[in-house]
Structure 1
Amino acid sequence: MKLSEYLENYNSVEEIYGYWPSFHDAEIKSVALNSYYKEEEGYTCPYMEFTVHCFEMTSSVKSNGYYELIKHNLITFRFEDIYDSELIGFDHQNAILSLEFEILPTNERGFTPILVEIDPANGLGGEFKAFSGKVTKVLPCDSKGHIISA
């Protein structure tokens, strides 16, 4: 199984960038851990949502010596039925080296989990597993991660 088959609304990110980004130097802007009762299944479901400020680095160098960054977006992910979560280091800045997704083998009950790894450059890092995931929002933003209003 590929990530594009597992992660609902995967294409909403790929359509903007033309590829699935590595999220190198992206910044995690928010994280929420919560749970809700799934009436139809009869159990409490733990979930995590987090929003990442993502962009594309070009080969153009600006006058200040930094590469030009374009396609700034706030991408919100939601993962349900999370388990084995270990998160550390949330800080005022949560820059990451990468955001990795690995589809794990299907378990004996027929569920296929995903492993999400946050490789920190500064601030938040860690990993968790989940049984479902989706991109819930992709919102254009400025270089500081503030939503651009229409």
Structure 2
Amino acid sequence: MEGIGPIEGEEQLVAVFGYWPTFHDAEVLWLRLDRRSGGEASYGPTLEALVHAFEMTDEVGPDGYYGQRFHVLVHLQFREVVKLRLDGFNHQNALHGLDFTDLRDRQMERVKWAVRFNSAFGVDASFECFAVEVLSVVPCGNAGEAINAEPPASNLDRA
């Protein structure tokens, strides 16, 4: 069971998938930008995302499509976001993948991660940040609707 590094809450995803997923064919349901800091130890803006993720299987269904399992809503928070580039958010935001590059070897810079929402259709985003956190992982149906739980609310609901 493998994660990708020091990401707070990553064990929630590893518990579902057995590894850190690639987010291939996942869909970004919403994004939220907040210019306020992400807490007492943080000084920069935050970006939050709710992503419907799942695992593709090698089984082909009667409809001719590969099967899917482990459908979850993943609520991510990125703190101290810099160099944000965001484009194409629309009615469907499918990803080729969600890519993380560890930048901790840059000893003189505060940023620790380069993040890329690699678009298949819709949203395409890239940025650097100090910290990444998995806030929650909620089971959902094939269409991204929460099962036996409310999907994570935006911080707008908490303000």
Aligned to 2:21: 21
- 2:77 is equivalent to residue 78 of structure 1: yes
Which deviates further from its counterpart, 43-52 or 54-63? Answer: 43-52
Q: Residue 7 of structure 1 aligns to a residue in which SS?
A: coil
Q: Write the mapping of 1:1-150 to structure 2, written as runs, cut at 5 A.
A: 4-37=4-37, 40=40, 44-104=43-103, 105-108=105-108, 111-149=110-148
Shift of 1:44: 4.7
Shift of 1:58: 1.0
Unmatched 5+ stretches in structure 2: 150-159
Q: Distance in 1 between matches of 2:40 and 2:66?
A: 50
TM-score normalized by structure 2? 0.84
Identity %: 33
Unmatched 5+ stretches in structure 1: none
Structure 1's consecutive aligned runs of 4 or more residues displaced over 4 angstroms after TM superposition are 37-41
Shift of 1:5: 3.5
Q: Distance in 2 between matches of 1:47 and 1:81?
A: 6
TM-score normalized by structure 1? 0.89
C-alpha root-mean-square deviation of aligned residues, in Å?
2.1
Higher relative contact order (CA 8 A, sep 6+): 1
Q: Distance in 1 between matches of 2:39 and 2:147?
A: 37
Preserved CA contact (<8 Å) 2:57 2:66: yes
* AA partner of residue 17 (structure 1): F
Deviations 1:5-42 (A, max 9, x none): 3210111101110111111111011100003257856x
* AA partner of residue 124 (structure 1): V
Aligned residues: 147
Higher strand share: 1
Aligned to 2:153: none
